[in-house]
Amino acid sequence: MMVEVRSDPVRHGVRQLRVGGQWVETDSEGYLLSLADWSEDFARAQADAEDLVLNDEHWAVIRFLRQHFQSHGVQAQVRVMIKHFSGLWGAQRASNHHLHDLFPRGGPQKQGNRIAGLLRTKGEH
């Protein structure tokens, strides 16, 4: 898929990603400026922009991240993800290492949250 990304000429640090014929605004790293702009099409476009091909495991993590944020108002910690996915996938596939292999650009807390349309985690620059 051809991904279209452009910088906002007026607002420094704002970029726009074409999603389904419309431009969606993100910060310079790809985090949504408005959480309401998230869609599965956004997730696919952002993943494409990051050279990541989403599979069923990615989608399971993305949906878990979104559900956890909706239920708790904060991003899931990696240990929470490991506990959750250990019950589904087994300990080896739910390991910190495997989760980082799925999301190689910052792991599930950075790249996963970006693609899931969530905010930066505390401490990110």
Rounded to two decimals, the pTM is 0.89
**Mind listing the pLDDT tens digit for each residue in 10-67?**
677 789 899 988 999 999 899 999 999 999 999 999 999 999 999 999 999 999 999 9
Q: What residue ranges define each of the domains in the chain, with the CATH number in brackets?
A: 5-115 (1.10.10.370)
H or E element that contains 19? strand 14-19
Contacts of residue 86, Cβ cutoff 8 Å, sequence gap at least 6: 94
Q: Which residue has the tokens 């050279």?
A: 51
**Mind listing the pLDDT tens digit for each residue in 91-114?**
999 999 999 999 999 999 999 999
